[in-house]
């Protein structure tokens, strides 16, 4: 009886700690998003920094600076390509707008023919939606406020993330010694394995996902070029970026070019063909490209992925959904090296059921 009472108290304490931690992560989202992104970037760049120090014997500060400069150059190149594509898209916007207007006119004709709702009645419905200045002004104000907060937060992150990453790499040995100091001697062997495995697994996962992004972007862009879509590179890059968000992002990445094809093309075969080809690319990515490039070292089952995506979205929005998978993999790596955590690691993982018998 006493034992069950103690276990109940421990469970209640764990629940309180989890709820308090979730609340703290939510109210200080911008700070923790930058910190979490910097930690992953530090894990990605650590082997490169170590290689530069070993091969060239340059100081740690210079090696870290060069590694960050390389990442910055890659990101700036990507942004430059996107900016060029956006410029081309803006020049074609007038034609897209005219085609959209024509498509809406056909849709209104179809509604009239199918359901008997005349053009004048449809116009009244639209007027009811449009002619609500207070509501529209409120929506515009919220959009402007959200846009300002987004770009302000983005600029702050672009300046803070490199600083956080620099100091995480510069003081990595101090952090490692801190962890060993606060860990009981009996568990230091487990800590060594966790740190070694964490570095290897997360480095392989992040680098693998970047390679998957390049392959998926190339394939999606090729599909759009075959269907003679304007701004194929922009839409392909967008689909590749959205692919970092499993399920939701991949569906949205295919839906956007389908809608544009529906508006700008004269045949339904274009959006249908693009949708089928994007679906084929997604099957290829899920069953061939990702297992081949990333491997199964961070394998999480589908239910776990959905749960962490929902939790990440609730805490940090779109950024949380992107960061959810690698951090779930980090938790799984830690649990696998803890005797009491191995059942949970097997539960959230995607290993064969025979692993439970070991």
Mean pLDDT of 267-284: 86
Residue 320 or 291, more confident = 320
Nearest 5°: phi and psi at 227?
Answer: -90, 10
**What's the whole-number average pLDDT of the chain?**
78
The rounded distance, in Å, linking the Cα atoms of 304 and 350 is 9
pLDDT score, position 15: 76
- Write out pLDDT tens, residues 27-62: 888 888 889 999 989 988 888 898 888 888 888 899
Please tell me the distance from the alpha carbon of residue 43 to that of residue 333, in angstroms, as a whole number. 14
Which DSSP symbol is given to 357? G
Q: Has residue 166 got a pLDDT over 90?
A: yes
- Rounded to whole angstroms, how far apart are CA atoms 238 and 321? 16
Q: Give pLDDT tens digits for 187-203.
A: 878 888 888 888 887 88
Listed by start position, the domains of the chain span 28-182
Between 65 and 17, where is the model more confident? Answer: 65
Residue 99 has which token pair? 């085609």
What pLDDT does 2 receive? Answer: 58
Helix 302-336 crosses helix 29-56 at what angle (to 10 degrees)? 50
% residues pLDDT > 70 (the chain): 74
Are 281 and 220 in contact, with CB atoms under 8 Å apart?
yes
Sign of the dihedral defined by the CA atoms of residues 199, 203, 206, 208, in that order: negative
Q: DSSP strand E in 5-116: where?
A: none
pLDDT at 295 over 50: yes
- pTM above 0.85? no
H or E element in which residue 38 lies? helix 29-56
% residues pLDDT > 90 (the chain)? 7
pLDDT (average), residues 127-132: 55
The confidence band for 125, taking pLDDT boundaries of 50, 70 and 90, is low
Structure-token pair, residue 163: 């600083």
Give per-residue pLDDT as tens, 66-85. 999 998 888 888 888 777 77
Asked if residue 234 has pLDDT above 80, the reply is: yes
Q: Report d(CA 342, CA 353) in Å as an integer.
A: 13
Confidence of residue 167 (pLDDT cuts 50, 70, 90): very high
């Amino acid at each position: 009886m006493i034992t069950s009472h103690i276990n109940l108290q421990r469970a209640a304490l764990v629940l309180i700690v989890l709820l308090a931690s979730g609340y703290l992560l939510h109210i200080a989202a911008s700070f923790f998003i930058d910190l979490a992104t910097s930690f992953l970037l530090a894990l990605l760049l650590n082997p490169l920094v170590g290689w530069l120090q070993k091969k060239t014997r340059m100081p740690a500060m210079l090696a870290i600076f060069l590694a960050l400069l390389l990442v910055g150059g890659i990101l700036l190149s990507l942004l430059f390509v996107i900016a060029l594509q956006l410029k081309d898209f803006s020049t074609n916007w007038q034609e897209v707008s005219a085609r959209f207007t024509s498509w809406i006119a056909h849709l209104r004709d179809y509604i009239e023919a199918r359901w008997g709702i005349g053009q004048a009645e449809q116009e009244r419905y639209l007027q009811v939606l449009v002619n609500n200045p207070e509501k529209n002004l409120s929506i515009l104000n919220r959009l402007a406020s959200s846009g300002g907060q987004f770009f302000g937060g983005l600029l702050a992150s672009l300046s803070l993330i490199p600083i956080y990453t620099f100091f995480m790499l510069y003081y990595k040995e101090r952090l490692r010694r801190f962890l060993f100091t606060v860990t009981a001697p009996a568990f230091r062997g487990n800590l060594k394995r966790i740190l070694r495995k964490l570095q290897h697994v997360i480095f392989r996962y992040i680098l693998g996902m970047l390679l998957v992004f390049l392959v998926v972007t190339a394939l999606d862009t090729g599909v759009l070029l075959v269907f003679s879509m304007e701004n194929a590179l922009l839409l392909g890059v967008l689909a590749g970026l959205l692919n970092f968000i499993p399920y939701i992002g991949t569906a949205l990445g295919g839906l956007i070019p389908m809608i544009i094809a529906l508006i700008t093309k004269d045949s339904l075969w274009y959006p249908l063909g693009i949708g089928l080809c994007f679906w084929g690319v997604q099957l290829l990515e899920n069953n061939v490209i990702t297992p081949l490039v990333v491997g199964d070292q961070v394998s999480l089952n589908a239910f776990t992925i959905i749960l962490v995506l929902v939790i990440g979205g609730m805490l940090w929005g779109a950024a949380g959904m992107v960061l959810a998978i690698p951090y779930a993999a980090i938790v799984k790596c830690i649990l696998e090296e803890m005797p009491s955590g191995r059942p949970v690691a097997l539960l959230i993982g995607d290993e064969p059921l025979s692993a439970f018998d070991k």
